[in-house]
């Protein structure tokens, strides 16, 4: 790769939380790490010096092809409403819909990254009855390929939109993907079928779950702050959601499940409208509808019954408490 | 008279446009446009009430926890539950972590880079300030980012992650702190205190928190190493203590059981808060016309072609009057002597708003250390909070940038109405039906504008630490 990887960043129908999360990158401070990896911002709305006409000049120069840049990172859903006008977000100072800016810039970029699930799939702005936004992702609308740029879109670098999905993204997902690109490029083989980087999307949130012992014995939490497995009652989708949240901690030490609440599968299209309350597990005849991916239902039911009957008292009692009430036994001494 | 459009305003959260009517090089009238609409109040309708806890944090990536806390409070109000002491302490800690981290981000990443503009190259402080605070490249950024990231590890311990946690529930916190975590949280707080004292303030938190007048502040800052003293040197050179005055009426919903709720009138009298006196007006918003409504009866119906409208933001008013909210309001209502003195001498200003954030850091961080000590591992953190099928709830809290309220009503077990009034909705509100401009619209009047002037407008806009994505939820 030649010289610097130049990144242009735009924000639209989102909360800005992916940038806020990105700024938590560690161990090195984000700006140092990106600089030394050969990555620089052409402009970023939350970070750059240029404001007002100076900012518009940078964007216009990029959109017209005068200033070459490598990666267009977009953060936030594309708001096409009302009535297809894009008026729900006219970029300040320009009077033009953000959707128009994104479409112009996407054809100039060598690669286009959707930062966060709003940008990838529409996220919370999309697919809710009564919501007027007409929102979509860059190349998806929920599960459907299409979105703002359309199914056929391929950036100059030869890839569809790269979906760094998550609500928010983990800072490492963005930094790793940018650094891989700067190091040796990205290929279709680096992405999963939803165009998410395999770096994090070839894992399940369940992998490395700190509550795995409770999961194995189906020792389930019954209420908030219980230590037990969150899958059976409290809505956890960690066995179905693609991400490495338990192999790569959040904010140094955390994850949703470590925080005591369900994985709501925020890296998946349509997570915003699960069809049931987020913190309740839908069941039929007492069996959760959403079983672990790759798990045959009959085996799951059989194993669950078996493991429940084999649950140690320690695991069973602790599952219903907010701190361990039974400690692991000491190893017996062999004579 | 000519009209100038300013935008995009970067280094604010979300998108912002300001329209200025200028005569003789000065602003005569300002109109503030929030050009992005988010539609969250519609997204919430029809969902299960507890779903608000998953949805509302995603209104805002920078005041995500404050949104959670407001929703949890509204649900607790609906349920009638009172959370246990550990739950209260955990919530205070998570909220304070976000608020103080936001103050740090605002100072280093959003606000100070404007002093590195080349237009200031001949000022006496420029040689020190510009290389330190230049956007992205400044020498202050690495240590500030590291301090912020390490401080936010408190949310990793207490709330799973930041932003967008589901740990804050009506009945307390889903995360029970373990004895080991309690010790490690105290260590993280020591690390943050060290950065704030050695790099940002240049003195002990307790010394800064006790500064009691503008004279004391200036004497303290004189020649002192530290980023806050560096700001004060530039700000006094530019007269920013006399710049950016708005209505000088202030609102706080009260924070952490430490800073009280209240309304401070222009004559400095502090009234008790009465949330029933809050209304929202849509006269100049791209929203269906209606008389000013209390949020509990509020509507958010899009009317994108409405004549005379210029923003997606509503105009909230207290007793029909314009109020400013934020750290300065919190400290004024708490009677903090330095904040009171700054405003008594000059009215609210850029300097007063920035100083208030850093004073709040000095005041709240020691309280956080005490809250951690007060946690009793083994005692409960969360109680069940069963919800009625019908009813209403109000959740009032303070985000970093000011007062945040959620008004919820539930019918047949589903959210029937959800109205949110966010801090920047107050501060960046448009005119109302009586023509009263919002706080920023007032603060910009009289400032120099046009080609070749100093970027005073940039300082004033950012002194409010606007969060536009919340504004237009």
Closest CA to A52 of B10, B456, B29, B428: B10
pLDDT band at B15; cut points 50, 70, 90: confident
Residues A207 and A304 in one domain: yes
B15 or B261: which leads in pLDDT: B261
Give the closest of B61, B135, B304 to A15, CB-based. B61
Residue B150 sits at the chain A interface (C-beta within 8 Å): yes
pLDDT at A251: 98
Share of chain B above pLDDT 90, in %: 93
Whether B397 and chain A come into contact, CB under 8 Å, resolves to no
Please check whether residue A328 lies inside any domain of the structure.
Answer: no
Please tell me whether residues A120 and A148 are part of one structural domain.
yes
Instruction: State which of A199, A226, A259 marks the end of a domain.
Output: A199
In a domain, A329, yes or no: no
CB of A101 within 8 A of CB of A93? no
Residue A260 CA, distance from chain mean position: 19
Residues A218 and A158 in one domain: no
Q: What CATH number has the domain bearing residue A60? A: 3.40.50.700
* CB half-sphere exposure, B297, CA atoms < 13 A: 10
Nearest chain A residue to B32 by CA: give it.
Answer: A92
In a domain, A277, yes or no: yes
| Rounded Cα distance, B325 and B315, in Å | 14
The fold of B2-168+179-381+394-448 is Cytochrome-c3 Hydrogenase; chain B (1.10.645)
Domain count along chain A: 2
Distance separating alpha carbons of residues A26 and A172, to the nearest angstrom: 8
Q: In terms of domains, do A175 and A44 share one?
A: yes
**Does B176 score more than 90 pLDDT?**
yes
pLDDT at A63: 98
Q: Are residues A240 and A161 in the same domain?
A: no
Residues 26 through 55 of chain B touching chain A, CB cutoff 8 Å: 33, 35-40, 42-43, 45-48, 50-51, 53-55
Q: How far is CA B16 from CA A146, B34, B440, B450, B458, in A?
A: 29, 5, 12, 18, 12
pLDDT at residue B159 above 50?
yes
Specify whether A239 is located in the same domain as A305.
Answer: yes
Examine the domain organization and report whether A110 and A11 are in the same domain. Answer: yes
Position A332 in a domain: no
Q: What is the pLDDT of residue A127?
A: 65
What local confidence, expressed as pLDDT, does residue B467 receive? 85
Selecting from B6, B37, B143 the residue whose C-beta is nearest the C-beta of A88 gives B37
Q: Per the CB < 8 Å rule, is A253 touching B156?
A: yes
Residue A331 belongs to some domain of the structure: no
Task: Find the domain containing A112 and state its range.
Answer: 5-199
Band (pLDDT 50/70/90 cuts) for residue B9 is: confident
Same domain, A33 and A168: yes
Q: Is the domain of A140 the same as that of A17? A: yes
Mean pLDDT, chain B, integer: 96
Instruction: Determine whether the interchain pair A15/B33 forms a contact, defined as Cβ–Cβ distance below 8 Å.
Output: no
Contact: A254, B157; criterion CB under 8 Å: yes
Q: Which of residues 237-296 of B touch A (CB under 8 A)?
A: none
Q: Computed from CA positions of residues A197, A198, A200, A201, in that sequence, does the dihedral angle turn out positive or negative?
A: positive
Which of B39, B59, B458 comes nearest A132 by C-beta? B39
Which residues neighbour B190 within 8 Å (Cβ) at sequence distance 6 or greater?
A: none
The average pLDDT across B191-219 equals 98
Residues of B in contact with A264 (CB under 8 A): 54, 166
| Same domain for A192 and A307 | no
pLDDT tens digits, B370-415: 999 999 999 999 999 999 999 999 999 999 999 999 999 999 999 9
Q: Is residue A315 part of a domain?
A: yes
The CATH number covering residue A224 comes to 4.10.480.10
The predicted-structure confidence for A64-92, as pLDDT tens digits, reads as follows 999 999 999 999 999 999 999 999 999 99
How many angstroms separate the CA atoms of B153 and A254, rounded? 8
Looking at chain B, which residue has its C-alpha nearest residue A324? B378
Domain end (from A199, A224, A240): A199
Nearest to A121 by CA among A77, A159, A91, A59: A77
pLDDT tens digits along B61-98: 999 999 999 999 999 999 999 999 999 999 999 999 99
Q: Select the residue of B15, B113, B160 nearest A91 (Cβ to Cβ).
A: B15
| Amino acid A335: pLDDT | 62
Determine whether the interchain pair B149/A24 forms a contact, defined as Cβ–Cβ distance below 8 Å: yes
- Please check whether residue A334 lies inside any domain of the structure: no
Question: What is the reported pLDDT for A1?
Answer: 43
Residue with the bigger pLDDT between A151 and B1: it is A151
Q: A18 to each of A94, A232, B62, B63, B179, how far by Cα in Å?
A: 24, 30, 10, 13, 32
Distances (CA, A) of B419 to A21, B299, B429: 27, 8, 16
Low-confidence ranges of chain A (pLDDT < 70): 1-2, 127, 129-130, 335
Same domain for A190 and A216, yes or no, is: no
Closest C-alpha among B199, B9, B31, B196 to residue B110: B9
Residues A195 and A209 in one domain: no
CA nearest to A255 within chain B? B160
**How does DSSP assign B416-453, residue by residue?**
EEEEEE-HHHHHT----TT-PPPHHHHHTTT-B-STT-
């Amino acid at each position: 790769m030649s010289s610097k990887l130049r990144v242009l960043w735009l924000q639209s129908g989102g909360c800005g939380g992916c940038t806020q999360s990105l700024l938590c990158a560690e161990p090195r401070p984000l700006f140092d790490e990106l600089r030394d990896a050969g990555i620089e911002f052409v402009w970023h709305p939350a970070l750059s010096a240029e404001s007002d006409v100076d900012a518009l000049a940078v964007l216009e120069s990029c959109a017209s092809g005068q200033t070459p840049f490598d990666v267009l990172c977009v953060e936030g859903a594309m708001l096409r409403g009302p009535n297809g006008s894009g008026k729900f977000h006219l970029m300040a100072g320009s009077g033009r819909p953000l959707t128009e800016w994104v479409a112009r810039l996407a054809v100039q970029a060598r690669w286009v990254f959707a930062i966060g699930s709003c940008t990838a799939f529409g996220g919370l702005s999309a697919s809710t009855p009564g919501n007027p936004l007409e929102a979509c992702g860059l190349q998806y609308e929920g599960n459907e390929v299409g979105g703002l740029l359309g199914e056929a879109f391929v950036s100059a670098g030869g890839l569809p939109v790269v979906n760094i999905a998550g609500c928010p993204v983990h800072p490492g997902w963005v930094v790793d993907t940018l650094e891989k690109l700067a190091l040796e490029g990205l290929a279709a083989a680096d992405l999963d079928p939803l165009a998410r980087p395999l770096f994090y999307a070839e894992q399940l949130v369940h992998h490395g779950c700190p509550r795995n012992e409770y999961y194995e014995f189906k020792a389930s939490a019954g209420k908030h702050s219980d230590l037990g497995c969150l899958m059976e009652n409290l809505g956890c989708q960690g066995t179905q959601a693609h991400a490495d949240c338990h192999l790569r901690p959040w904010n140094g030490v955390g994850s949703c499940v470590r925080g005591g609440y369900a994985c709501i599968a925020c890296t998946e299209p349509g997570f915003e409208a699960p069809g049931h309350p987020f913190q309740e597990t839908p069941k039929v005849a007492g069996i959760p509808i959403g079983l672990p991916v790759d798990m045959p239902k009959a085996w799951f039911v059989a194993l669950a019954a078996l493991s429940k009957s084999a649950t140690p008292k320690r695991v069973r009692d602790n599952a219903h408490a907010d701190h361990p009430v039974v400690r692991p036994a000491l190893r017996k001494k062999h004579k | 008279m000519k009209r100038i459009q300013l935008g995009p305003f970067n280094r604010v959260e979300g998108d912002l446009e300001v329209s200025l009517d200028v005569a003789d090089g000065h602003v005569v009238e300002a109109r503030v446009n929030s050009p992005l609409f988010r539609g969250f109040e519609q997204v919430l309708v029809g969902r299960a009430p507890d779903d608000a806890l998953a949805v509302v944090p995603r209104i805002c990536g920078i005041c995500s926890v404050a949104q959670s806390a407001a929703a949890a409070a509204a649900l607790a109000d609906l349920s009638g539950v009172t959370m246990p002491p550990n739950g209260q302490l955990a919530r205070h800690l998570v909220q304070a972590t976000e608020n103080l981290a936001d103050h740090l981000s605002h100072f280093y990443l959003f606000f100070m880079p404007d002093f590195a503009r080349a237009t200031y190259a001949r000022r006496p402080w420029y040689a020190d300030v510009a290389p330190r605070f230049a956007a992205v490249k400044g020498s202050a950024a690495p240590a500030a980012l590291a301090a912020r990231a390490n401080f936010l590890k408190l949310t990793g311990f207490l709330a799973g992650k930041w932003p967008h946690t589901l740990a804050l529930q009506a009945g307390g916190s889903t995360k029970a702190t373990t004895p080991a975590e309690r010790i490690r949280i105290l260590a993280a707080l020591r690390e943050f205190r060290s950065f704030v004292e050695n790099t940002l303030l240049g003195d002990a938190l307790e010394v800064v928190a006790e500064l009691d007048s503008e004279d004391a502040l200036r004497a303290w800052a004189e020649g002192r190493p530290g980023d806050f003293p560096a700001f004060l040197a530039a700000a006094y050179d530019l007269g920013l203590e006399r710049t950016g005055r708005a209505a000088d009426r202030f609102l706080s919903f009260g924070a952490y059981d430490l800073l009280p709720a209240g309304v401070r009138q222009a004559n400095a009298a502090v009234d008790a808060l009465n949330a029933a006196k809050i209304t929202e007006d849509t006269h100049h918003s791209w929203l269906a016309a209606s008389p000013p409504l209390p949020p509990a009866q509020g509507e958010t119906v899009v009317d994108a072609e409405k004549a005379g409208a210029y923003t997606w933001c509503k105009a909230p008013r207290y007793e029909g009057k314009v109020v400013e909210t934020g750290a300065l309001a919190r400290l004024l209502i708490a009677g903090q002597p330095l904040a009171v003195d700054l405003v008594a001498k000059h009215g609210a200003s850029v300097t007063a708003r920035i100083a208030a954030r850093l004073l709040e850091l000095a005041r709240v961080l020691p309280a956080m250390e005490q809250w951690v000590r007060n946690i009793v591992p083994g005692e409960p953190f969360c109680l069940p909070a069963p919800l009625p099928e019908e009813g209403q709830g109000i959740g009032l809290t303070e985000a970093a940038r000011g007062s945040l309220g959620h008004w919820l009503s539930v019918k047949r077990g589903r959210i029937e109405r959800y109205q949110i009034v966010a801090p920047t909705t107050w501060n960046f509100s448009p005119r109302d039906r009586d023509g009263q401009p919002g706080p920023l619209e007032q603060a910009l009047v009289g400032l120099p504008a046009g080609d070749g002037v100093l970027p005073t407008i940039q300082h004033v806009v950012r002194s409010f630490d606007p969060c536009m994505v919340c504004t237009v939820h």
